[in-house]
A and B are shown apart, each in its own frame.
Chain A
Amino acid sequence: MSELAIQTVDLRKVYRGRIEALRGVSLRVERGCCFGLLGPNGAGKSTLVKTLLSIVRPTSGTATLLGHDIRSAKARVGVGYLPEGHRFPRYLTARGVCEYFGRLAGLNGKALVREVGEKLETVGLADWADKKIAKFSKGMTQRVGVAQALLGEPKLIFLDEPTDGVDPVGRAGLHFVMRQATERGSTVFINSHLLSELEGLCDQVAIVHRGELLQQGSVSDITTAVGGGAFIIRVRTGNLSEGLWERLSSRGAKREADDFFAMPLGGEDDISPLIDELRAAAVPIYAVQPKRVRLEEAFVEIIREKGGTGVVQR
């Protein structure tokens, strides 16, 4: 059995009109992890997922899901999928949607009935199971989509913008469901624009841009790489005298909101001397915290280095 849930080797997709959506993507996703795929709009994220699921045919390169070549229907056994912008048949109830896709996944009989009931309960739609989805809000429809993707305890689950349109409470519930899935041993592959979401959920992330894989690693690998390994702390204080601020700013301090300033240090050993310096100037200290480079900042930085964020900066 392959240790990898997903492996792609030099995967390329050129659409008609010579649009190169994927330019030789080589990716390895280990089993049992929560994997996040990041990229700006049009980066090729959805094309990559669709190619892996044979919704789109690759132009060249190879790929496997759970050790099976994606060209075989066998590769999609034990795989759940929630597409972005899905449109389930509006004439079906939430239960009907799940039963339909459950049957397509090979479930039937009592196992199907039990699974559908369980999954609808998991996403908080047990009371709405027999209502037509035409009456559902976007967030509720999204939860139906997640429920159908979880049917049959899939070993690999693709979720394309899973919390799109879901309110914060529902989002927290879905995060819990995704964590449960990975705890059970499933591999969860998430495409999302909400980088804070991925930062909290994913063990591994990859960044794609213009069809190319720019980076892959853990969240801390990527943020550390972008931060250049610098140690920065944030300090919230009372008023700083001009003289003191000049000394601090000459060592790289920068003001931030809410009376914070950020300051690069050589390491943790330099924190106490800085506090001593502030106390010596009778400056009240309210908070001292390490400043981490957020995934979003790292992402923007990486994309900017590669030719822009799509936003013109003047």
Chain B
Amino acid sequence: MNAWLAIVGDTWRQSRQQVVFFIMLGLLALIAIVSIVVVKPFPQTDGSVRVGFVTQDEPSRALEGMWLDAYAMSLVGEDRAFELFDEAEAAKFDEDLRAAYDKATAVADVPLARRAVESFLYNVAGVIYLVSMLLFLAACSGYLPNMLEAGALDVVLAKPIDRFSIYFAKILGGVAFYAAAILITYVILFTGIGLRTGVWAGRVFYVMPLQIFAAALLYTIVAALGVQTRNTTLCLIVGFFFYVIGDSLLEGLRIAQAAGVLEAWPVLDRIGRTIPWLLPNFSLLKQNAISSVLAIPLMRWEPIATATAWMAIALGFGSWRFWRTDY
């Protein structure tokens, strides 16, 4: 355990040496502070409070409505919005959506101020997710290649620790660094928004598990590549493209699939149906994560299952390569 902590601690110190670490912390803090500054409470005559933006003279109905939209859409099925081919289907969708709104309004007895704050945090969490993921990728790409540099690793390997432990501790160290960075960000956000609006939206912390999971997935892939190539730049480039493909390309394919656009091309259609089970969809993982802010029953298991499989493969391959290689 002592040795594990030493490697985790070293990864933390390694992170602190990187400019990108400070850029990441700075940007995350900036996003949190700006988010706190732009919202303000609007006390109502009945003693309640609603929430809006500092640039507006009245509470934000858009934020309040967004909460209900998200709730209703989660009930009716988000993907159905892309499946409106004919009038009958459109009418059926409208009918279901109205029912979902009624149900959401009845079920979700949530004050307007909380709805507005949660909707706002949902969007802020989306920005934090994207920024932190890309900057963490830049930071973690060098962890393994730097550790494997000639002369840097020998003493570590000569200690009475097996190589699997060294590898997993290195992974854990990187993930712990990321988790600490976003925990600090969400604590600032939670406290600042709470003090400013009186709404203590603790659900913002629910974003963290899946966000950390997605970052861990990206890191395990980059780490496995790092063990294989020992090249930071290559790790960064491949990691970036993997994320972009898993985020934008797969999401575009999913939307095209749902909209039936691919039906004219059977091969593409088959690929579109198969790929979500082959590659992790980072966009859906993000949706899953940030939807946790809203008290809505929305959770897609397909990207989580695929991402878990990828993580297991990347961890297995990376640790096996690390165990096998002569240094």
Contact = CB atoms under 8 A, between A and B. Distances in A.
A57 B160 CA distance: 15
Given A56-B326, A86-B154, A87-B152, A103 B16 contact: no
Contacts of B157: 53-55
A124 to B, nearest CB: 20
A48 B286 CA distance: 50
B13 A81 contact: no
A85 B151 CA distance: 6
Contact of B160 (A15, A92, A105, A148): A105
Interface of B: 2-3, 5-7, 9-10, 13-14, 16-17, 149-162, 324, 326-327
Interface in A73-122: 73-77, 79, 81-83, 85-89, 91-92, 96, 100-101, 103-108
B6 A76 contact: no
Classify chain A's interface size: 20 to 34
A55 B152 contact: no
Given A86-B151, A87-B149, A91-B16, 12 more contacts: A53-B154, A75-B160, A85-B150, A87-B152, A101-B156, A103-B2, A103-B6, A104-B156, A105-B159, A105-B160, A108-B2, A158-B158
A107 B151 CA distance: 23
Nearest to A97: B155
B141 to A, nearest CB: 17
A74 B160 contact: yes
A81 B158 contact: yes
Given A76-B160, A100-B6, A103-B6, A89 B326 contact: no
A138 interface: no
Given A53-B157, A86-B151, A103 B14 contact: no
B160 A106 contact: yes
A108 B151 CA distance: 25
Contacts of B160: 73-77, 79, 105-106
Contact of A83 (B3, B16, B149, B155): B155
Q: Which among A79, A86, A158 has the greatest number of chain B C-beta atoms within 10 A?
A: A86
A247 to B, nearest CB: 59
Contacts of B326: 15, 50, 55-57
Contacts of A54: 157-158
Contact of B159 (A56, A76, A87, A91): A76
11 contacts: A50-B327, A73-B160, A73-B161, A73-B162, A77-B160, A83-B154, A92-B13, A101-B156, A103-B2, A104-B3, A108-B2
B248 to A, nearest CB: 36
A96 B6 CA distance: 11
Nearest to A16: B326
Contacts of B327: 50, 55-56
B167 to A, nearest CB: 14
Contacts of A50: 154, 326-327
